[in-house]
Chain A
Amino acid sequence: MREWPPGPTLAADFARGRNVAQFKGTETYVASRELEVAVNAAVALQRPLLVKGEPGTGKTVLAQEIATALGYPLIEWHIKSTTKAQQGLYEYDAVSRLRDGQLGDPRVHDIANYIVRGKLWDAFESEQPVVLLIDEIDKADIEFPNDLLLELDRMQFFVYETRKTVQARHRPVVIITSNNEKELPDAFLRRCFFHYIRFPDRETMEMIVRAHYPDIRRELLREALNVFFEIREVNELKKKPATSELLDWLKLLTIEDMPPEALRSSDSRTAIPPLYGALLKNEQDVHLLERLAFLARRRGG
């Protein structure tokens, strides 16, 4: 197996036995120990970290938190279905060169003037190490990850137009998120560390909420979590509410100054919860809950 070329900073730090910045959960982000281990492994070995998990469990936020924790700037590359791997490296703007050529602009003689840098180039050329977020890699074409193999492996690429090699000054910490819409190729997966963000249990969820709203009332939080986990237990839901939905909902509840009793009397077994729009994103789910509540009322009464 080919050894990984040691990056100038992090590996050197290790070699000298010095401690590099370690990732820990922050005040606003509750990270489980497994997540910390995965991130630290990815940072230490300078390999990309692939993060999967239910939508709304904080995959994208993770990169921002890692950047804050390590004190590196964050470069975000959001992937769409039309994104090409090449766009992350650079693009050759042939149309403006053509136009400049017709206008007789002297810039036209240097092709480098028409090379537009992509996010990866920015990350590689940065003066200090950065965190690079490749968000929702599964949105792109099936071949997209394959096209980035060498670039992420060696952290360098070749610009054909100018015949120059761009090499990373510092190997960036690469965080890749995926929503599982497409399967990623094995060759790509082999080069990454992988972490699956499990849906938080009740205690962790309480910690997460407290991290976001430190002064939320205890009874309100308790009742809200009861309702929340009860809704999540309804199996037929098309989209189960996740952490981000819960946080939105709690915010609404505090803004409306909802008394905790209102939640208790209206748990999902007798009526659908107040301000449900923040929790349920699908009218079929709302109907389903209404139907369940109706049945429960009929049985109970």
Chain B
Amino acid sequence: MFAPFILALRAAGVPASITEYLALLRAMKEGVAGFSVDDFYHLSRAALVKDERHLDRFDRVFGEVFKGLESPTGEAPRELPAEWLRKMAEKILTPEEMKQIEALGGFDKLMETLKQRLAEQKGRHQGGSKWIGTAGTSPFGAYGYNPEGVRIGQEESRHRRAVKVWDQRQFRDLDEDEALSSRNMKVALRRLRRFARTGAATELDLPGTIGATARNGGSLDLHMVPERHNAVKVLLLMDIGGSMDDHIRICQELFTAARSEFKHLEFWYFHNCPYERVWRTNRRRRETERPTMEMLRTYGPDWRLVIVGDATMSPYEIIQPGGSVEHWNEEAGQVWMDRLTRHFRKAAWLNPVEQSHWRYTQSIAMLQRLMENRMYPLTLAGLETMARELAR
């Protein structure tokens, strides 16, 4: 009955399965949703969507598939009755303030402006007609009655018209490609965990001890095991300065996340493209510089290399010896990239530039090729793909 709906959901990337579809049908049969469109929307959402990142997509698909299903009375009334507005204002303003309004041009005039603003807002975007954020520009704000302006809404949020609930798309923020915080970065990086017991035996191995004691005829035989550690080793190479200044915040968060997630984390800086030298502290660059060859010798191929950079530069900086913007490099950037990817078989490039803009920059395409297509956007989804790729 709702098969086209499920198919549309799957096409939009919401992973709804047969099991969930059948659960929805059963719930309908049990009469959970009754005969209300609103309830059906809530029920199908609870049954079919299992991740808040997909809620927005679900809303969109639901709006498309059930387009004709609007309530018979038509759309929610746009025109606010003056009486109701007055009541609303009375609820919000104290008597003294009301008196002041009367003094300053009268209540009706104020309401007139408000109505006008409401009409403007209706024209601007669909779904937003429920709210009017008059903010600082509204007459309310101007007179200074209410510091953040008056919000006009329907009396109870629960009685919104059904059609509008999904049209509001309140879950847009939760979609996968949002900017990320160090917390959800950590979660994404956790995919990279590889637990192993290495080092000194410091923990009591309880099952081992019990087994050994039992075999020993009851006299105690203690066994120890090493602690469990995340054994993944990550080498972080970060582009710094120049065009990267726009992305400092997100790189900082990535750095925080990576530092707390990996026990073996080494980081080095470079500028635009890795050449023969990398450095450890940007401020004291001269003192902390090391040859890249030394870095290659220090960290074995079992380290996972993650390069963070916007890869946005002149193509000469990659293909031409001496192309670097800040010094004379004997060998071209691509030679060094080649060395890096050949030494570190597990490597990835994280790019904070929005993926849809990648094709406009030639150097991004070149580095993408040098990285054998292992360049990922610095978004939650990109980070997860990278972690999955590196964990293989």
Contacts and interface: CB of A to CB of B under 8 A. Distances in A.
Given A194-B46, A194-B49, A201-B157, A226 B147 contact: yes
A33 B39 contact: yes
A189 interface: yes
A198 interface: yes
B148 interface: yes
Interface string A229-247: 1100000000000000000
A158 interface: no
Interface stretch (A93-101, A117-125, A160-168): A93-101
B148 A190 contact: no
Interface string A248-284: 0000000000000000100101000000000000000
A189 B16 CA distance: 10
Interface in A63-109: 94-95, 98, 101-102
B156 interface: yes
A182 B49 contact: no
Interface string B20-64: 101100110010110000110011011101111001000000000
A195 interface: yes
Contacts of A98: 210, 213-214, 218
Contacts of A204: 157
Contacts, number: 105
A233 to B, nearest CB: 9
B78 to A, nearest CB: 20
B57 to A, nearest CB: 13
A49 B32 CA distance: 14
B10 to A, nearest CB: 14
Nearest to A50: B50
A186 B151 CA distance: 41
B50 A190 contact: yes
Contacts of A186: 15, 50
A191 B19 CA distance: 8
B246 to A, nearest CB: 17
A192 B45 CA distance: 12
Contacts of A159: none
Interface residues of A, number: 49
Given A98-B210, A219-B94, A226-B146, A44 B30 contact: yes
A284 to B, nearest CB: 12
B17 interface: yes
B187 A181 contact: yes
Interface in B100-143: none
Nearest to B26: A45
A222 B92 contact: yes
Contact of A190 (B17, B155, B184): B17
A260 to B, nearest CB: 10
Contacts of A37: 32-33, 39, 42-43, 46
Contacts of B283: none
B148 A226 contact: yes
Contact of B42 (A38, A202, A230): A38
B218 A101 contact: yes
B305 to A, nearest CB: 25
Interface residues of B, number: 45
B6 to A, nearest CB: 14
A14 B46 contact: no
Interface string A1-29: 10000000000001000000000000000
Interface string A205-226: 0000000000000010010001
Q: Is the interface of A mostly helix, strand, loop or mixed?
A: helix
A219 B145 CA distance: 13
B148 A189 contact: no
A45 B19 CA distance: 13
Contacts of A156: none
Contact of A95 (B27, B33, B92, B210): B210
A47 interface: yes
Interface in B56-93: 92
Contacts of B32: 37, 40-41, 44-45
Given A37-B46, A44-B32, A269-B147, A189 B39 contact: no
Contacts of B148: 226, 229-230, 267
A1 B19 contact: yes
A34 interface: yes
B23 to A, nearest CB: 6
A160 to B, nearest CB: 15
B255 interface: no
B3 interface: no
A33 B210 contact: no
A113 interface: no
B20 A190 contact: yes
Contacts of B147: 226, 230, 264, 267, 269
A32 interface: yes
- Which are the 5 A-B pairs with shortest beta-carbon distances? A189-B50, A38-B46, A37-B42, A34-B42, A196-B52
Interface of B: 15, 17-20, 22-23, 26-27, 30, 32-33, 38-39, 42-43, 45-47, 49-52, 55, 92, 94, 146-148, 151, 153, 155-158, 170-171, 174, 184, 187, 190, 210, 213-214, 218
26 contacts: A1-B19, A32-B158, A37-B33, A37-B43, A41-B32, A41-B43, A44-B30, A45-B26, A45-B27, A98-B214, A98-B218, A180-B52, A184-B50, A186-B15, A189-B51, A191-B19, A193-B46, A194-B49, A194-B51, A196-B171, A198-B170, A201-B153, A226-B147, A229-B148, A264-B147, A267-B147
Given A52-B52, A98-B214, A222-B92, 14 more contacts: A37-B33, A37-B39, A37-B43, A47-B23, A98-B218, A181-B187, A186-B50, A193-B23, A198-B171, A201-B157, A202-B153, A204-B157, A226-B148, A267-B148
Interface of A: 1, 14, 32-34, 37-38, 40-42, 44-45, 47, 49-50, 52, 94-95, 98, 101-102, 142, 180-184, 186, 189-196, 198, 201-204, 219, 222, 226, 229-230, 264, 267, 269
